[in-house]
Amino acid sequence: MKKMLVASLALLMASQAFAADPISQRKDVFKQYKPVVGAMGKMVKGDTPYNKDEFAKLATQLEQLSQQPWQYFPAGSDAGKTDAKTEIWSKPADWQKAIDNHKAATAKLKQVALAGDLAAIKTQFGATQQTCKACHKDFRKD
């Protein structure tokens, strides 16, 4: 009984340590971007039929995702298996500007998607992707 209690406690502590790992947490959020952006991109390119309601739903998801990963970049989380560049922590004003640009672009994409004008969506989708690329260029090891 005592061994089971100790093992259970060790497992609980390990799971809490993993849950508190900001690198894993931010990677999990960013992994959620891929299917959302991928489905949107297929509609924008014409690989799949454009569906106004589905695109708006995806744009809403993307806007929600754009709010999440930034909390998982606390000081000291640049060590370990991360693709984050040290510039995130050494240039916090630039990092915050990149975050703000991305959030603004995803919010605008959501608004444009709700209106349903495919030409405007294509333009804003491209602008939103540019905020991703800019951040990767300056703040991610590729």
CATH number of 89's domain: 1.20.120.10
Residue 122 lies in a domain: yes
Considering the domain boundaries, does residue 12 fall inside one? no
Q: Per the annotation, does 74 bind a ligand?
A: no
Q: How many domains does the chain have?
A: 1
As a whole number, the mean pLDDT across the chain is 90
Per-residue confidence band for 4, with pLDDT thresholds at 50, 70 and 90: low
Residue 49 lies in a domain: yes
User: Which range marks the domain in which residue 122 is found?
Assistant: 22-68+85-139
> Does residue 16 sit within a domain?
no
Check if the beta carbon of residue 39 is closer than 8 Å to that of residue 58.
yes
Q: Is residue 33 part of a domain?
A: yes
Instruction: Give residue 3's pLDDT.
Output: 60
Query: Would the pLDDT of 54 be above 60?
Result: yes
Q: 40 labelled as ligand-binding?
A: no
In a domain, 45, yes or no: yes
Model confidence band, residue 15 (pLDDT cutoffs 50, 70, 90): very low
Q: Is the pLDDT of residue 8 over 90?
A: no
Range with the poorest average pLDDT among 19-23, 53-57, 113-117: 19-23
Query: What is the tens place of the pLDDT at every residue in 108-131?
Result: 999 999 999 999 999 999 999 999
In this prediction, residues 90-114 reach a mean pLDDT of 97
Identify whether 78 is part of a domain: no
Residue 132 known to bind ligand? yes
pLDDT of residue 73: 96
* 1 domain residue, yes or no: no
pLDDT over 90 (residue 68): yes
